[in-house]
Amino acid sequence: MAENRDFMNRRLHSLLGVIPIGVYLVQHLTVNFFATRGAEAFNGAAHFMENLPFRLFLEIFVIYLPILFHAIYGLFIVFQGKSNTRRFGFFRNWMFLLQRITGVYLLVFIAWHVWQTRVQASFGAEVNYDMMADILSSPFMLVFYIIGVLSATFHFSNGLWSFLVSWGITVNPRSQRIATYATAVIFVALSVVGMSALLAFINPDLANM
Amino acid sequence: MSEEKMIRLIITRQDGPESEPYTQEFELPHRPNMNVISALMEIRRNPVDADGRETSPVVWDMNCLEEVCGACSMIINGKPQQSCTALVDQFEQPIRLEPMRTFPVVRDLIVDRSRMFDSLKKVKAWIPIDGTYDLGPGPRMAENKRQWAYELSKCMTCGVCLEACPNVNDNSEFIGPAPVSIVRLYNAHPTGEMNKSERLEALMGEGGIESCGNSQNCVESCPKGIPLTTSIAALNRDTSLQAFKNFFGSDKA
């Protein structure tokens, strides 16, 4: 199987983007959404996640290792391409470029986000509504997070589309077009969920609930 | 006498594989139904640039002149295509001609497309029928299959899809869309199918199908309208199944 290493790595990259990373993204955004019900509701949801059994094991195998592989191999993929949207301005070619731009942005965003929340938590900080409200009170951080969340939902939705092609599930143009519409809906829906949560952290009414 | 209608060409030239490219402008009299090749022939007849300076004739590659050989492919006003079917009247002036730089430039508009033919060898784009005795007629092909396979057989190895692909470049080993689609053609053939897994294994090797980034420029650019992205997705499915077979299966198939 050694001669097929590139093939296996690329397929693994595609699979990990959906399972577990995509599933984790949806779950993460769902937990965040509790913030729209007030600080207490969010803290309850966050504490539930915090107190899951075998948390470190889950974090390592469901989050850290898959994301690390996906990010490093993804960067390798980015350097293999030479964008040519100026000469070939087709829709899919733009998606190809955006997938790479959002991927690189997410690498920076997620690294910073993990440092700001999970790493700080291991130093004794408490991950709760106030922590996020504090972070997002800075306008720079708010913009950084808004672009980060939108990049994540786009990268996941468009990645889901290419996952379907890369594994040979959507083969003909019609099924690929329907998948484009379906993943566009997923992008909009997840973005609404993500944005509502972000805005809930800067809503003073919700902070006291 | 009414003023003669002129056409203007801006050509990217290069004296040799290692030399620096430069552009040169040409102005020549318009003739009805002129194509890019006949314009180039006119320059060859009278190699004088737009400023009246004598220069070396521009060289280009050509063969069939009816868009079936792929040799005369070049970039015309930013779009890779065959110069034989590029009618001058259909282009905005000045018409810009450039070589397809995805391939090594030999001189002026001539590029070396050897890598495509090497890729065809790599993916075993042939059907082995030789034996020590007469093997008799092969299995028949269903008519509906023959019809879509015929579309794939229109590939003329012209290189336009490689030129359009953002993942075919110096940083990547990707063989490009054309050889992938050719594997689908040979795997669809009832006799060719007997060596299906060998071709799939080749596609799963270095620079194979996994390097496709789904920009889908190839299918938009193919002059023959070959469903290249359908071929790629179909072979993504076949290679997925082949990978499962290799890992979990027992017989070598």
Of all residues in chain B, the percent with pLDDT exceeding 90 is 90
Compute the mean pLDDT over every residue in chain B, rounded to the nearest whole number: 94
Three-class DSSP category at A110: helix
A-B contacts (CB, under 8 Å): 113
CB contact (8 A) between residue B217 and residue A7 = no
Omega prior to A139 cis, within 30 of 0 = no
pLDDT classification of B1: cutoffs 50, 70, 90: very low
pLDDT for the residue A209: 78
pLDDT for the residue B134: 86
pLDDT classification of B252: cutoffs 50, 70, 90: low
Above 90 in pLDDT, residue B230? yes
SS3 content of chain B, % helix, strand, coil (to 5): 35, 15, 50
| Mean pLDDT of the region A70-85 | 96
DSSP string, A161-208: HHHHHHTTSS-SHHHHHHHHHHHHHHHHHHHHHHHHHHHHHT-HHHHT
Q: Among positive and negative, which fits the CA dihedral B80, B83, B87, B93?
A: positive
pLDDT for the residue A164: 98
User: In Å, how far is B147's CA from the nearest CA of chain A?
Assistant: 16
DSSP-derived secondary structure letter, A59 = I
Task: Name the residue among A144, A157, A159, A163 with its Cα closest to residue A192.
Answer: A157
Measured distance CA(A164)–CA(B53) in Å, rounded: 57
Q: Which CATH number fits domain A2-207: 1.10.150.170, 3.40.50.300, 1.20.1300.10, 3.90.380.10?
A: 1.20.1300.10
Residue of A nearest to B244 (CA): A8
The yes-or-no answer to whether B6-111 and B114-248 have a common fold is no
The continuous run of DSSP H or E covering A150 comes out as helix A139-166
Above 90 in pLDDT, residue A56? yes
Task: Name the residue among A7, A167, A165, A191 with its Cα closest to residue A96.
Answer: A165
Domain boundaries, chain B: 6-111, 114-248
Above 50 in pLDDT, residue A187? yes
- On whether the CB atoms of residues B155 and B180 are closer than 8 A, the answer is no
Q: What fold does the segment set B6-111 form as a domain?
A: Ubiquitin-like (UB roll) (3.10.20)
User: In Å, how far is A28's CA from the nearest CA of chain B?
Assistant: 28
Q: Where do we find the tokens 């990645």?
A: A159
| Mean pLDDT of the region B62-76 | 96
Q: For residue B82, how far is the Cα from the chain centroid?
A: 9
Question: Which residues is A108 bridged to in the sheet?
Answer: none
pTM for this model (two decimals): 0.94
pLDDT for the residue B131: 81
Distances (CA, A) of B207 to A112, B111, B119, B167, B201: 34, 21, 10, 10, 12
Backbone phi and psi for residue B29, each to the nearest 5 degrees, phi listed first: -65, 140
Which residues of B fall within a CB distance of 8 Å from A80?
Answer: 167, 169, 171-172, 174, 211
Q: What fold does the segment set B114-248 form as a domain?
A: Fumarate Reductase Iron-sulfur Protein; Chain B, domain 2 (1.10.1060)
Model pLDDT for residues A33-45, shown as the tens digit of each residue: 999 999 999 999 9
pLDDT for the residue A120: 93
Of A11, A96, A172, nearest to B215 by CB-CB distance is: A96
| Mean pLDDT of the region A173-192 | 98
Burial of B160 (0-12, 13-18, 19+ CB in 10 A): buried
Above 70 in pLDDT, residue B2? no
Model pLDDT for residues B109-160, shown as the tens digit of each residue: 999 999 999 999 999 999 988 888 988 888 999 999 999 999 999 999 999 9
Domain boundaries, chain A: 2-207
Q: Where do we find the tokens 């889901």?
A: A160
Backbone phi and psi for residue A102, each to the nearest 5 degrees, phi listed first: -65, -35
pLDDT classification of A1: cutoffs 50, 70, 90: very low
CB contact (8 A) between residue B217 and residue A84 = yes
Three-class DSSP category at B127: coil
pLDDT for the residue B253: 59
Which residues of chain A have a Cβ shorter than 8 Å from any chain B Cβ?
A: 1, 3-4, 6-11, 77, 79-84, 87-88, 90, 92-93, 95-97, 161-162, 165-173, 176
